[in-house]
């Protein structure tokens, strides 16, 4: 039994599950993080779980579901979001994700939090899926990743030059999200994408991603990260290098899996359990 959808009481065991609030030193100051530690003796596989833009959906139910299955789960807030120091930018999102990866790879931290160095994963929703795949491509010690309705800001920017619907979708998202974030605004993020958007495209990392197991779930009713713009190009580009590492499916639901949360959590947990040593 993996307890992905039911409780497992630990009583007064010395190996109870817990939660550790951690402030990790980043390049711009403190990053506010929360590590859900798994119950049970011994080392535990560990997932870095990344939220979207701006992060109003935290996916803590997913974090708890993964933890119940025996994983540690690290959640984090990027620079300029939800109290973390510094200014928000897409570049900083990717840097911050790598900073927290460094923390999880540190031997002292692995010993303290009983992290299994051989079973490190990244997962994320929306922009978190964008960050997941970009980060997974450059972190050799992380063995696989899950991207839930990923929003590829790089590809959206490139496509916005030739597709007015994609442009409106992207610009509307920037307008709606930036008021929640510190040190940025829609024009600053557009300027960043103008300079780096092509490099941020996940298809640029297809060869690296084809060497690791990746699971992508798209939303058939998603009017934010449309499947044809944000999922299909990634899947096609990775499969051109290796058709054996990409697991892709769609669900009849919206961007946040609003009516299929438990189903989504079950799928993610099952996939993760199938890829641990």
Domain boundaries, the chain: 18-152+204-273
Express each pLDDT in 86-131 by its tens digit. 999 999 999 999 999 999 999 999 999 999 999 999 999 999 999 9
Mean pLDDT of the 230-256 span: 98
Give pLDDT, residue 6: 78
Which CATH number is 18-152+204-273 given?
3.40.50.1820
Give pLDDT, residue 2: 54
Give pLDDT, residue 5: 65
How many CA atoms does the CB half-sphere of 241 hold within 13 Å?
Answer: 17
Mean pLDDT of the 73-80 span: 98
Contact 230, 156 (CB under 8 A): yes
Mean pLDDT of the 179-198 span: 98
The residue among 50, 54, 115 whose CA lies nearest residue 76 is 50
pLDDT of 3 strictly over 60: no
Mean pLDDT of the 200-227 span: 98
Between strands 29-37 and 144-148, the pairing is unpaired
Mean pLDDT of the 239-265 span: 97
Give pLDDT, residue 270: 96
The residue among 109, 76, 93 whose CA lies nearest residue 27 is 93
Give pLDDT, residue 7: 83
Query: What is the reported pTM?
Result: 0.97
Give pLDDT, residue 1: 43
In SS3 terms, the chain reads as CCCCCCCCCCCCCCCCCEEEEEEEEECCEEEEEEEEECCCCCCEEEEEEECCCCCCCCCHHHHHHHHHCCCEEEEECCCCECCCCCCCCHHHHHHHHHHHHHHHHCHHHHHHHCEEEEEEEEEEECHHHHHHHHHHCCCCCCCEEEEECCCCHHHHHHHHCCCHHHHHHHHHHHHHHHHHECCCCHHHHHHHHHHHHHHHCHHHHHHHHCCCCEEEEEECCCCCCCHHHHCHHHHHHHHHHCCCCEEEEEECCCCCCCCCHHHHHHHHHHHHHCCCC
On average, the pLDDT of the chain sits at 96
* Tokens matching residue 272: 């993760």
pLDDT of 252 strictly over 70: yes
Mean pLDDT of the 223-250 span: 97
- From first CA to last CA, the distance across the chain in angstroms is 17
Express each pLDDT in 23-48 by its tens digit. 999 999 999 999 999 999 999 999 99
Express each pLDDT in 12-24 by its tens digit. 989 999 999 999 9
Express each pLDDT in 119-147 by its tens digit. 999 999 999 999 999 999 999 999 999 99
Distance CA 219, CA 118 (A): 31
């Amino acid at each position: 039994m993996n307890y992905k959808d039911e409780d497992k009481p630990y009583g007064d065991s010395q190996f109870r599950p817990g939660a550790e609030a951690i402030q990790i030193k980043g390049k711009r100051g403190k990053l506010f993080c929360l590590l859900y530690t798994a119950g049970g003796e011994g080392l535990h596989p560990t997932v870095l779980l990344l939220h979207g833009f701006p992060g109003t959906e935290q996916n803590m139910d997913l974090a708890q579901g993964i933890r119940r299955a025996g994983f540690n789960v690290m959640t984090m807030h990027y620079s300029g979001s939800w109290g973390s120091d510094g200014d928000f930018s897409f570049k900083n999102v990717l840097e911050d994700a790598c900073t927290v990866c460094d923390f999880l790879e540190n031997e002292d931290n692995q010993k303290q939090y009983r992290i299994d160095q051989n079973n490190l994963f990244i997962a994320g929703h929306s922009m978190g899926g964008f960050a997941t795949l970009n980060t997974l491509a450059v972190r050799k010690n992380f063995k696989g990743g899950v991207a839930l309705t990923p929003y590829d800001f790089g590809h959206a920017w490139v496509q916005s030059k030739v597709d007015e619907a994609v442009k409106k979708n992207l610009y509307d998202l920037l307008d709606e999200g930036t008021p929640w974030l510190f040190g940025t605004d829609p024009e600053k993020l557009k300027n960043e994408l103008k300079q780096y958007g092509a490099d941020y495209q996940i298809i640029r990392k297809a060869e690296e991603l084809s060497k690791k197991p990746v699971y992508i779930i798209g939303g058939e009713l998603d009017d934010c990260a449309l499947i044809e713009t944000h999922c299909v190009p990634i899947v096609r580009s990775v499969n051109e290098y290796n058709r054996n590492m990409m697991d892709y499916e769609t669900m009849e639901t919206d961007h946040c899996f609003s009516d299929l949360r438990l189903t989504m959590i079950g799928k993610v947990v099952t996939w993760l359990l199938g890829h641990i040593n």
